[in-house]
Amino acid sequence: IRRPPRSTLMRSSAASDVYKRQVSTQSTGTNKNHLNFGIMVKIQAKTLRTKKSVDLRKELHDAKTTLQELRVAKVAGGSASKLSELKPARRNVARILTVLNQRRKATLRNVHKNSKFKPLDLRPKLTRRLRRAARQSSLKKETKRAGLKRKQFSLRLYAVKA
């Protein structure tokens, strides 16, 4: 068993308590797997996609509260095991939010499927230049005046004898 870094031992007694528990379980020969240091489990996106939106919102609330608790533990000088849970906790919140936003966009796409105008976030991104460029259909259109000019002064073809 590796001992936590010296700096964390000096800051809090919680880290030294964890170390003492680890050492005591080794010396007694008890099962090491019964110690649960609360290692954050990665939530998989495919399991999130099977859940309902209400459940996802509840899970998001839980994930945010655990993240808040971990941040408080970090400020208070918590154990190294708690500090290592911060990154997975943030990622879990991000995963849940991603699934919720994907669902929201999918429903919006269905709503605006046949409508003439779509919300900005559903329109194709492209580049600014391409978004500003005139469409091919409008480039082919001709004004009334241009049409009259074309008819009255059409291109004349002459054959020259050689």
Residue 37: pLDDT band with limits 50, 70, 90:
very low
* 70-99 pLDDT, tens digit each: 999 999 988 888 889 999 999 999 999 999
Cα-Cα-Cα-Cα dihedral sign, residues 66, 68, 69, 70: positive
Q: Per the confidence metrics, is the pTM higher than 0.75?
A: no
Over 90: is that where the pLDDT of 141 sits?
yes
Residues 40/46/49/50 CA torsion (nearest 10 deg):
-100
Please report which residue ranges of 29-135 form alpha helices under DSSP H. 45-50, 53-75, 80-83, 86-111, 128-132
